[in-house]
A = this chain, B = another copy of it.
Amino acid sequence: MDKPANPDHPIHEILQRRWSPRAFSSRRVEPETLRCLLEAARWAPSSNNAQPWSFLVATQDDPGEFQRLLSCLREGNIRWVKQAPVLLISVARLNFEDSRQPNRHAFHDIGLAAANLTVQATAMGLVVHQMAGFFPEKVKELYAVPADHEPVTAIALGYPGDPATLPDDLRERESAMRTREPIGAFVFSGRWGQRSPLA
């Protein structure tokens, strides 16, 4: 199933194809494919090149580890993520390693890395679904994440599957229309709220 964006201005086909489905194929993601996705994240820019990202990863190849990571998700997500072949948790280092000062952009830069990973995945025919719905404290405990780090998102990825395999309510959401504010609503010039002539 495809569900491309319907842009008002032309965008790259990878960005247009990208969406966040809940239906995954049982097809395995080869380790070398996964490495390309993580490599894409690696080359994201970051404040001071601090690279504040880490990823906890589990695949269905190791059911015990997969279950452990899955157990950190909220129930509403477990329902469908359990079919995904790969599950990640992104983790931010909150301080700069050298100065120990807070990195104001730690979460932001995890976003940059996750977007790169998503572009690479989409280019290779995979789909990615990022989630806020998990328990960061449980991740910290189960995986002994250091105190100056913080789990940011859960990320399910794999090859696209058949929405018919989803529970009824999720299957409906799978086909819901994609909506976004137009750029005129969030691009300002001169002062806040003043629509830019450029948008």
A108 and B105 in contact (CB under 8 A), knowing A12-B120, A192-B146? no
Contact B119 A183 (CB under 8 A): no
Contact of A60 with B by CB under 8 A: no
* Mask: chain A, 156-194; 1 = CB below 8 Å from B; 0 = not: 000000000000000000000001111100111111110
**Chain B residues in 8 Å Cβ range of A145:** 192
Contact A43 B18 (CB under 8 A): yes
**Chain B residues in 8 Å Cβ range of A153:** 105, 108
Contact of A39 with B by CB under 8 A: yes
Interface core residue of A8, A114, A187, A199 (most chain B CB under 10 Å): A187
How many copies of this chain? 2
Contact of A83 with B by CB under 8 A: no
Q: In the complex, which of the residues B39, B56, B152, B180 contacts A7, with contact meaning CB atoms closer than 8 Å?
A: B39
A11 and B40 in contact (CB under 8 A), knowing A105-B132, A114-B112? yes
Contact A38 B108 (CB under 8 A): no
Shortest CB-to-CB span from A156 to chain B, Å, is 12
A57 and B189 in contact (CB under 8 A), knowing A42-B180, A153-B108? yes
Contact B8 A186 (CB under 8 A): no
- CA A10 to CA B152, docked complex, whole Å: 26
Which A residues contact B (CB, under 8 angstroms)? 5, 7-12, 14-16, 18-20, 31-32, 34-36, 38-45, 47-49, 51, 53-59, 62, 65, 104-105, 107-116, 118-120, 123, 130, 132, 143-146, 149, 152-153, 179-183, 186-193, 196-199
- Could you jot down 6 A-B contacts, CB within 8 Å? A11-B120, A31-B197, A44-B115, A59-B198, A105-B107, A115-B115
